[in-house]
């Protein structure tokens, strides 16, 4: 994954252009540990916000999908590398790029960057499951088609 390239491949906040969706975040006190650095699990939370924003920008509301279509996206696996710490009051940019849109899984490459520095990079696999049974189901065709268009 070229997390650095992904972090630079955007022009406007909250738009899925250049195949990479990006969103600015802010590091508040509650996200930091005693050393003033972002707690490691919070990078995953930042990434979750951006994946949700990506789907929202394409017209898909996760709450509505759960209520109406009984479909959920759950993290099946997360491979994350921490390169440098994000610090209190930083304003990192978080990106998401669709690596693969399969029948029942979505794979995203994500990064948290401060200007040109990649702070954390990750590959996350999401499984599409039934909101009733929590068993795998097909990714809705409309979502898969739009995400494939971003590859």
**Vertex 107 angle, CA 97 and 87, to 5°:** 55
Assign 12 to helix, strand or coil.
coil
Active site residue 17: no
How many CA atoms within 13 Å lie on the side-chain side of 91?
Answer: 3
pTM over 0.75: yes
pLDDT band at 92 (very low <50, low <70, confident <90, very high): very high
**Of 33, 42, 61, 90, catalytic:** 33
Query: Is pLDDT at 2 greater than 90 in this prediction?
Result: no
Tell me the average pLDDT of the chain: 90
Assign 47 to helix, strand or coil.
helix
Q: Which domains does the chain have, with CATH numbers?
A: 3-148 (3.10.129.10)
Residue range 122-132, pLDDT digits in tens:
999 999 999 99
Q: Look up tokens 């916000």; give the residue.
A: 49
Residue range 52-62, pLDDT digits in tens:
999 999 999 99
């Amino acid at each position: 994954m070229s997390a650095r390239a992904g972090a630079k491949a955007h022009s406007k906040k909250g738009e899925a252009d250049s195949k990479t969706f990006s969103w600015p975040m802010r590091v508040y006190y509650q996200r930091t540990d005693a050393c003033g650095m972002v707690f490691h699990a919070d990078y995953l939370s930042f990434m979750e916000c951006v994946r949700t924003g990506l789907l929202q920008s394409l017209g898909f509301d996760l709450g509505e999908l759960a209520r109406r279509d009984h479909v959920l996206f759950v993290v099946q696996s997360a491979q994350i590398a921490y390169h440098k710490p994000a610090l209190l009051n930083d304003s990192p940019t978080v990106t998401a790029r669709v690596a693969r849109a399969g029948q029942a899984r979505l794979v995203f490459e994500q990064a948290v960057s401060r200007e040109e520095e990649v702070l954390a990079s990750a590959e996350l696999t999401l499984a599409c499951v039934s909101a009733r049974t929590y068993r795998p189901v097909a990714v809705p065709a409309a979502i898969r088609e739009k995400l494939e268009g971003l590859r």
